[in-house]
Structure 1
Amino acid sequence: MKAKFNPAAAAGLDLVFGFRIDDTQNFSLVVKDGACELQEGENPDAQVTLVMDGETLQGIVDGSTDGMQAFMGGKLRAEGDMMLAMKLSELFPS
């Protein structure tokens, strides 16, 4: 994930994205001042949490699945600030 990170798009940002995978795993992605850190576990400060299964996550990460198509197809759900979820495509361009 860090290999695809665009630090220029994260300049001046202070965001927390949550990820819930298969309702059993939680991760958070902290983006702050041009850097990102992936942490295991749920973060109560997450402004948006993306809920999906492991297969969908793998497809999004490896580029074989488009996040917006996964959302429109019901394979990805966003809880919280939907506009922030869309920011991920700028932070992690394909």
Structure 2
Amino acid sequence: MPKRMQDLPAEYLSHRRALAQAIGARVRVRREQLDLTQDVLRTRMELEQVFVSRTQYSRIENGEALPNAAELLALSAILAVSLDWLLRGATAP
């Protein structure tokens, strides 16, 4: 764990982990609904000027990493869902 993360409260880290898992699950479900492979989705992200390695994309879908703002915007556009849905699951895509 990076040093800057060591001093954070356990509740924050737990919330961050849960959020990453929820976003990753929503991304995976929507990608599969659209019948896209991970590689096709990554290629479309590159067209949006957002470059994500295979490893990083896999970590996002598996809930091991939180996507950054640029990644969230690209995913929202490519998957045709709102940011609200990606972040909170509030409305159906």
So what's the TM-score if we normalise by structure 2? 0.31
Please identify which structure carries the higher helix content: 2
TM normalised by structure 1 equals: 0.31
Higher radius of gyration, 1 or 2: 2
